[in-house]
């Protein structure tokens, strides 16, 4: 497994990290299928992955519990464990300490190697300051319960500069992939962090699976260039090629995905200039399809009116690439009664939570109108 040294500390971090937001689930719930997920963790660890990333609300709280169990068989010093403080759940200073102590118990550990203020943006940054979260976490770092303190981020480069200046921070996690390099100005964010000397941890390198298979035209471009490589491997390599990237997180749901990503990062090949041209050509073909940039993170859920927001967008995107309205109706009906776009009441709650800044009520109205035609 290809590794990069963290800030001249001697710590070698695997370039591939296991993200624990999309582990295999028990059918019909957010609960993790422990047997299948343990197989994923064991294979990753056996092949050199030593960075494991979870969060308080992943899998509705089950992710931290699972990874705490799954890693018990391994020496604590042999891996790096990361989790996050959900700032949107903090309503008073005491909440910060209560959540942090709960996380240590859930993860069955005495310390976190990497700890993040989760999903900071202009709003949650103010909450962080209001409730003294940074100061509390700094004290935990001084006490040896956090080795490295950073934050994950969803906002503009301008907001990022303000948060970076509030530090001292040691690293930052951002959404970065070849689609969002321009679409969400990941380029600008990466440049801010590189200028500040903060190593980057990449989330959503495959955009929730959207870049594992784009559209037939794009897929053909990738296959023609490298018939021996998966479509997803191009996205993983794109992020990993950037020199200030320390870890590329991938939320892997199947063992086959783990094997593919491990193979990509074991014999890691940075993108060449020719490879970049292939990516641009494939991306141009993909942009011609009118897809919705949903990653399936589920931060918008649960909808108070029952809409399966990621499910609706997944159905729409699937049908926008070579599908038709009849197929879209079938896909929406499969979500179950009351879970389709027609149940949306445009309350706007979801929009305050969406990292992709999707105008969800508007898109729901558009899709509802489409399936009525």
- Give per-residue pLDDT as tens, 265-280: 998 999 999 999 999 9
pLDDT for residue 66 is more than 60:
yes
pLDDT in tens, 158-190: 999 999 999 899 999 999 999 899 888 999 999
- Residue 25: the pLDDT is 94
- Per-chain mean pLDDT for the chain: 94
CATH domain 3-287 topology: TIM Barrel (3.20.20)
**Mean pLDDT (whole number) for 322-336:** 81
Exposed, middle or buried: residue 96 (CB in 10 Å: 0-12, 13-18, 19+)?
buried
At 323, the pLDDT band (50, 70, 90 cuts) reads low
Q: Is the peptide bond before 171 cis (omega within 30 degrees of 0)?
A: no
Q: In this model, does residue 322 exceed pLDDT 70?
A: no
pTM: 0.84
- CB of 203 within 8 A of CB of 173? yes
Q: In this structure, are residues 180 and 161 in contact, taking their beta carbons and an 8 Å threshold? A: no
Question: Where in the chain are the domains?
Answer: 3-287, 309-372
Please give the pLDDT value at position 373: 74
**How confident is the model at residue 309, as a pLDDT?**
95
Which pLDDT band, with edges at 50, 70 and 90, does 318 fall under? Answer: confident
When pLDDT is averaged across residues 144-163 and rounded to a whole number, the result is: 97
Letter string b/e over residues 97-129, b meaning 16 or more CB atoms within 10 A of that residue's CB: eebbeebbebbbbebbbbbbbbbbbeebbebbe
Question: Which region among 198-202, 293-297, 307-311, 345-349 has the lowest average model confidence (pLDDT)?
Answer: 293-297
What mean pLDDT is predicted for residues 190-213? 95
- Section 330-348 average pLDDT: 92
pLDDT of the residue at 330: 87
pLDDT at 108: 98
**The pLDDT of residue 116 is above 70:** yes
321 pLDDT higher than 80: no
Give me the pLDDT at residue 290, please.
66
Token couple for 71: 């890693």
The pLDDT, as a whole number, for residue 236 is 98
C-alpha to C-alpha distance for 80 and 12, rounded to whole angstroms: 10
Instruction: Using pLDDT thresholds of 50, 70 and 90, give the confidence band for residue 331.
Output: confident
The average pLDDT across 125-152 equals 98
Return the minimum-mean-pLDDT range out of 46-55, 265-274, 348-357: 348-357
Q: What is the pLDDT of residue 80?
A: 98
Looking only at the bridges linking them, the beta strands covering 12-14 and 3-5 are antiparallel
């Amino acid at each position: 497994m290809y590794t990069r040294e963290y800030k001249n500390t001697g710590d070698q971090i695997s370039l591939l990290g296991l993200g624990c937001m999309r582990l295999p689930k028990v059918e019909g719930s957010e609960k993790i299928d422990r047997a299948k997920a343990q197989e994923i963790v064991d294979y990753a660890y056996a092949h050199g992955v030593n960075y494991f990333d979870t969060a308080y609300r992943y899998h509705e709280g089950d992710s931290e519990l699972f990874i705490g169990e799954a890693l018990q068989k391994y020496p604590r010093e042999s891996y790096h464990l990361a989790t996050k403080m959900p700032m949107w759940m903090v309503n008073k200073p005491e909440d910060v300490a209560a959540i942090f102590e709960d996380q240590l118990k859930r993860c069955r550990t005495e310390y976190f190697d990497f700890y993040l203020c989760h999903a900071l943006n202009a709003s949650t940054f103010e909450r962080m300051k209001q409730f003294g979260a940074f100061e509390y976490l700094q004290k935990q770092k001084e006490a040896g319960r956090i080795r490295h303190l950073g934050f994950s981020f969803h906002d503009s480069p301008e907001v990022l500069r303000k948060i970076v200046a509030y530090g001292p921070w040691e690293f930052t996690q951002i959404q970065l992939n070849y689609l969002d390099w321009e679409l969400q100005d990941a380029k600008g964010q990466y440049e801010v962090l590189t200028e500040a000397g903060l190593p980057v941890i990449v989330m959503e390198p495959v955009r929730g699976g959207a870049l594992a298979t784009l559209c037939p035209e794009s897929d053909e471009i990738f296959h023609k260039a490298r018939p021996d490589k998966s479509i997803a491997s191009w996205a993983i390599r794109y992020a990993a090629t950037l020199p200030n990237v320390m870890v590329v997180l991938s939320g892997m749901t199947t063992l086959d995905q783990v094997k593919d990503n491990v193979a990509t990062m074991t014999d890691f090949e940075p993108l060449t200039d020719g490879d970049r041209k292939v990516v641009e050509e494939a991306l141009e073909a993909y942009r011609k399809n009118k897809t919705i940039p949903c990653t399936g993170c589920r931060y918008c859920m649960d909808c108070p009116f029952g809409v399966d927001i990621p499910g609706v967008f997944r159905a729409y995107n699937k049908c926008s690439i070579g599908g038709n309205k009849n197929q879209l109706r079938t896909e929406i009906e499969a979500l179950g009664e009351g879970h389709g776009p027609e149940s949306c009441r445009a309350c706007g709650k979801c929009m305050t939570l969406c990292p992709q800044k999707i105008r969800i009520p508007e898109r729901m109205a558009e899709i509802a109108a489409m399936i009525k035609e």
